[in-house]
Structure 1
Amino acid sequence: MPNYFRANVDAMASYIPGEQPPRGTQIIKLNSNENPYPPSPLALAALQNIDGEQLRRYPEPFGGEFRQAASQVLGVPSDWMIVGNGSDEILSIVIRACTEPGRKVVYPMPTYVLYRTLTEMQAADVVEIPYKEDYSLPLDELIAADGAVTFIASPNSPSGHIVAKADLRKLASHLSGVLVIDEAYVDFAQENAVDLVQEYANVILIRTLSKGYSLAGLRLGFGVANPQLLDGLLKVKDSYNVDAIASTVATAAIIDQAYKNACVAKIQASRNQLTTDLKNLGFHVWDSQTNFLLVQPPQNNAEYLYQQLKAQKILIRYFKQPGLDDKLRITVGTDEQNQTLVKALGYLLQELPTE
């Protein structure tokens, strides 16, 4: 068969998302960090009220309705925002606009592996700098690398930790390229870095409605940055990248902060209880400011537990890569789901022979 692809595309590995069982499958799904609660009633009502005229016409090309609503929530001018088909598209826009062969994309590892995939698509240079054992930021190394784009996920996946704002501020002030602060999980955290975009022209903050707002299936995310930075990014944005349904539903969801905050509070409480329960089983559990936990089983048998839970129709995430192959990432579900998981793990651990 002929080779139709660019050399860099031919050589790269595909991004592998978490398993997505068919709808209606009786399974406890704790592998993709989805919110266990339904979207805002206001969002569902907005969806039901979509009319044919909204579908007949092209959508507003810049997501203006959503930008206005998000502006009120974040206290940032609406023209400081770019809206995308999920936050992944905003990440892709940054890479397409700012990188090329010979330009570096830098980030600490382990983190969101899509950064590597997007960089390889553009044949730019990947520079991965290991996190320290305690997940403190390798600040000096990141500054020295001085990438055209530097990605920092805060809170980070899969570790769940938040990066100190002082470290982000130091990075922004020392880098000559763009600093992307990926705040996909910020709704579950104690602080955010939205003020840095007004302090530094090279910072873009990226958010999603997939996690805190229970809209992973909708695909809407946005970036916040100085308009001068956005001007360059908008040049490579698809003409109508956010559909009318997504914009309308997301607008209703982000306005309903009371509902979102109530769901977040339930998840944070469940996260604390799940942490305690797993520690009681002997797991090492890293502190988390997300809706998931990174854990290490007491007998270092992460892959075995992942497979056994999957056989019992409980999905969690296992990463077969250095630094993570002895760990598991577990999405915080409802209290009932979490207790089913804990009970299953307790039985599995009892069945294992002790040395």
Structure 2
Amino acid sequence: MTASYFRPSVDAMTGYTPGEQPKPGTKIIKLNTNENPYPPSPQAMEVLRTIDSEWLRRYPHPFADDFRHSVSKVFDVPYDWVMVGNGSDEILNVVVRACTEGERKIVYPTPTYVLYKTLAEIQPTEVVEIPYNENFDLPIVELVRAKGAVTFIASPNSPSGHLVAIDDLRKLASELAGVLLIDEAYGDFAEESAFPLVREFDNVMILRTLSKGYGLAGLRLGFAIANPALLSGLFKVKDSYNIDAIANAVGTAAMLDQDYKNQCVNKVKASRSKLAAGLTKLGFKVWPSQANFLLVQPQIDAESLYLGLKAQGILVRYFKQPGLADKLRITVGTDEQNDLLITALSSLLVEMK
């Protein structure tokens, strides 16, 4: 038998499992991977239509400075406080590679974004998972006691949708010796951001993405905001030209078109409230959410309901893992899509009882 080509940690891991991605053109209602149901900014699309071939012939800017300056303008920070990634996932990967190793641990509360664990397994580094209680209160004492080189806090969290209070994050940042990475992938849909903490603490990093609020999941563009002293080590680890010229240009236009982004976000938030009310009326337990999705618990078997919806051309997310196996995560779609979901669920609930 041929010996493995891979490191033992890679052989042992299962890898990250993305949500189902049907082929383009497939007639399906896709409510499983938290994409924005609305198209990107018209200004961003105009840039895409006028791409100069010279941009593609040359290497792109190594730090995506046009996009960094657009973030600087919108968030009112110096541009050298901004790092750009090929999706926010790349920045997570860079942080793990730069800051953790062996006993230099990764710490986070669970349930949360499962990629954190996958990245730790790839490194490999020790992981400490601390369960949330039923109210999703931040376990500050336990997180500090774990002494992580990096502590990840997703806020709003996935799959729960809850927002961690900035005062709790401030207390955590003040007591941690390592890096506190606050993952605000869904921050555009929330009522509050932890952004002020990057000015207060040099160990705090805020992570954002254009995949959710800006409707650009296919572009793969994210960014971090932190003190330049924290970013300096990360720049050593990132790929030389990690942001392509098209993403830099299109992302810059989208970032500067805040009016359009905010219009789309407000529509999603309004639809989120309507969808939550409809699901509650059907007997689902619905957790309060400040993201573009809802965590819900049906009265019948969650996996069977997920499969029943899939058979009708509606995809939602089912996690077959402890604490989530009786729940579904449902992305907020357009009002029309959400109405079709409610209709399908009403029929399935009758059939499956």
TM-score (norm 2): 0.99
Q: 3-state SS of the aligned residue for 2:148?
A: coil
| Structure 1 segment 1-355 matched on structure 2, within 5 A | 1-299=2-300, 301-353=301-353
2:309 and 2:12 map into 1 onto residues whose CA distance is 33
Shift of the alpha carbon at 1:352? 2.6
1:94 and 1:291 map into 2 onto residues whose CA distance is 26
Instruction: Report percent identity of matched pairs.
Output: 67
Q: 3-state SS of the aligned residue for 2:249?
A: helix
Q: 3-state SS of the aligned residue for 1:190?
A: coil
Q: 3-state SS of the aligned residue for 2:102?
A: coil
2:339 and 2:57 map into 1 onto residues whose CA distance is 47
1:198 and 1:137 map into 2 onto residues whose CA distance is 22
1:224 and 1:96 map into 2 onto residues whose CA distance is 18
Q: 3-state SS of the aligned residue for 1:320?
A: coil
Shift of the alpha carbon at 1:332? 0.2
2:215 and 2:307 map into 1 onto residues whose CA distance is 27
1:134 and 1:326 map into 2 onto residues whose CA distance is 17
Q: 3-state SS of the aligned residue for 1:55?
A: helix
Q: 3-state SS of the aligned residue for 1:289?
A: coil
2:53 and 2:3 map into 1 onto residues whose CA distance is 44
Shift of the alpha carbon at 1:120? 0.9
Q: 3-state SS of the aligned residue for 1:2?
A: coil
Counterpart code for 1:283: F
Counterpart code for 1:243: D
Shift of the alpha carbon at 1:351? 1.7
1:26 and 1:84 map into 2 onto residues whose CA distance is 32
1:297 and 1:151 map into 2 onto residues whose CA distance is 29
Shift of the alpha carbon at 1:123? 1.1
2:233 and 2:52 map into 1 onto residues whose CA distance is 34
Deviations, residues 216-263 of structure 1 (Å, cap 9, x unaligned): 000000000000001111110100000000000000001000000000
Counterpart code for 2:352: L
Counterpart code for 2:193: N
The alignment yields a C-alpha RMSD, in angstroms, of 0.6
Q: 3-state SS of the aligned residue for 1:155?
A: coil
Shift of the alpha carbon at 1:93? 0.6
Q: 3-state SS of the aligned residue for 1:166?
A: helix
2:313 and 2:129 map into 1 onto residues whose CA distance is 35
Counterpart code for 2:125: A
Q: 3-state SS of the aligned residue for 1:103?
A: strand
1:114 and 1:52 map into 2 onto residues whose CA distance is 35
Counterpart code for 1:16: T
Shift of the alpha carbon at 1:2? 2.7
Q: 3-state SS of the aligned residue for 2:130?
A: strand
Deviations, residues 110-163 of structure 1 (Å, cap 9, x unaligned): 000000000111110011000011111111100111200000000000000000
Where does structure 2 lack aligned partners over 5 or more consecutive residues?
Answer: none
Counterpart code for 1:237: K
Equivalent pairs, count: 352
Q: 3-state SS of the aligned residue for 1:269?
A: helix
1:102 and 1:123 map into 2 onto residues whose CA distance is 10
Q: Which runs of 4+ in 1 moved over 4 A?
A: none
2:235 and 2:45 map into 1 onto residues whose CA distance is 30
Counterpart code for 2:98: A
TM-score (norm 1): 0.98
Counterpart code for 1:258: D
Shift of the alpha carbon at 1:13? 1.2
1:46 and 1:240 map into 2 onto residues whose CA distance is 21
Deviations, residues 79-134 of structure 1 (Å, cap 9, x unaligned): 00100100000000100000111211000000000000001111100110000111
1:103 and 1:195 map into 2 onto residues whose CA distance is 27
Deviations, residues 253-299 of structure 1 (Å, cap 9, x unaligned): 01000000000000000000000000000000000000000000023
Counterpart code for 2:333: G
